[in-house]
């Protein structure tokens, strides 16, 4: 194996580790959302709270790159576009995944245990 191949393998391992960490963090949020569900608090209510939390955290995340609120406000449209495009791509990917695995994910036809 060449030095270049070894370097590429190390880079691939780093990407894989970071992607695994990304999905593990996402799974923790999904786990929390599922734990918050009750007969009175349905998935739609949980989703609304999660969307608000993501919007609030995203606004804070974007703000950390600025020194002045006026500069931050000037970039509002670009910030919204950035987060909206990322959300749209991720939502689209997940809808495709659910469509392809619908029976498995939604447990259609599964007998109660």
Q: What distance in Å separates the CA atoms of residue 103 and residue 108, rounded to the nearest whole number?
A: 5
Q: What distance in Å separates the CA atoms of residue 78 and residue 62, rounded to the nearest whole number?
A: 10
What is the Cα Rg of the chain in Å? Answer: 20
More confident residue, 66 or 9: 66
Kindly list the domain boundaries of the chain, sorted by start residue. Answer: 1-36, 39-113
Say if residue 28's pLDDT is above 70: yes
Say if residue 5's pLDDT is above 70: no
> pLDDT at position 2, please?
55
pTM: 0.78
More confident residue, 48 or 7: 48
Which fold would CATH assign to domain 39-113? Helix Hairpins (1.10.287)
More confident residue, 9 or 64: 64
31-88 pLDDT per residue, tens: 999 999 999 999 999 999 999 999 999 999 999 999 999 999 999 999 999 999 999 9
> pLDDT at position 108, please?
75
> pLDDT at position 112, please?
59
Are the C-beta atoms of residues 63 and 72 closer than 8 Å to each other?
A: yes
Query: Angle at the Cα of 55 (from 52 to 59), degrees rounded to 5?
Result: 140
First CA to last CA distance, the chain:
52
């Amino acid at each position: 194996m060449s030095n270049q191949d070894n370097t590429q393998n190390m880079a691939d391992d780093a990407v894989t580790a970071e992607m695994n960490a990304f999905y593990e963090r996402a799974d923790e949020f999904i786990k929390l959302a599922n734990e918050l569900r009750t007969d009175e608090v349905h998935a739609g209510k949980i989703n609304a709270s999660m969307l608000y939390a993501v919007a609030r955290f995203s606004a804070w995340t974007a703000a950390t790159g600025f020194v002045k609120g006026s500069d931050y406000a000037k970039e509002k449209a670009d910030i919204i576009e950035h987060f909206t495009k990322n959300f749209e791509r991720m939502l689209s990917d997940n809808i495709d995944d659910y469509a392809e695995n619908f029976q498995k994910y939604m447990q259609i036809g599964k007998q109660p245990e």
